[in-house]
Amino acid sequence: MAYAQEIRLDDLPDDVDGHVSQLLALWQDACRGGDIPDRGELSCEVLSAWRDDIGIYEYQPDRNDFLIRIDAPNMIAASGENYQGSTPRQIDLDFGTAVYPTLCEVVRTGQAQIHMIGVERIEWENWLRLMLPVRTRCRKGTPVIQVLVVHFLYKV
């Protein structure tokens, strides 16, 4: 098992790359009246600059769990693991993290969360993780909540 340490942050670090702050600002601008954004506003085209950074975790209320619809290519490359089609509980088992309960809180509150994640590899690595809730509809028209889980390597 690899080891990861998660620390919740109130804001992005002051020295964060503009690429990261632009994504958070885009999500915040898409929030209307305190509601979470619709994927129609945050489409693939709008999010294309972050396509390698974004994973999509879909909440499944009937199972009280999440399905990883898309695992971010940058995380697959960094970890050597592809969790697409799996559940975040497996990530928690593999890395000793709290991804699942954090996702539950993001869905419950409708608020974004920011974390600094330290990962033990050959050298210790720091990553910034954004969890950004969005809403969409399935093919049948039923409302669906997804969380955009975005990781950025952070040089301290």
At residue 110, does pLDDT exceed 90?
yes
pLDDT average, residue stretch 11-31: 95
pLDDT average, residue stretch 82-99: 92
pLDDT at 146: 97
pLDDT at 2: 60
Among 154, 84, 70, 82, smallest CA distance to 119 is for 154
pLDDT at 1: 43
Q: Enumerate long-range contacts of 135-141, CB under 8 Å, 24 or more apart.
A: 135/35, 135/36, 135/37, 135/38, 135/39, 136/38, 136/39, 136/40
What's the token pair of residue 51? 């396509």
pLDDT one-digit tens code per residue, 117-126? 987 777 788 9
Least confident of 99-103, 123-127, 128-132: 123-127
pLDDT at 82: 93
CB atoms within 10 A of CB 91: 23
Q: What domain range includes position 134?
A: 4-154
* CATH number of the domain within which 110 lies: 3.30.450
Q: What is the C-alpha to C-alpha distance for residues 33 and 54, in angstroms, rounded to an integer?
A: 25
As for how many domains the chain has, the answer is 1
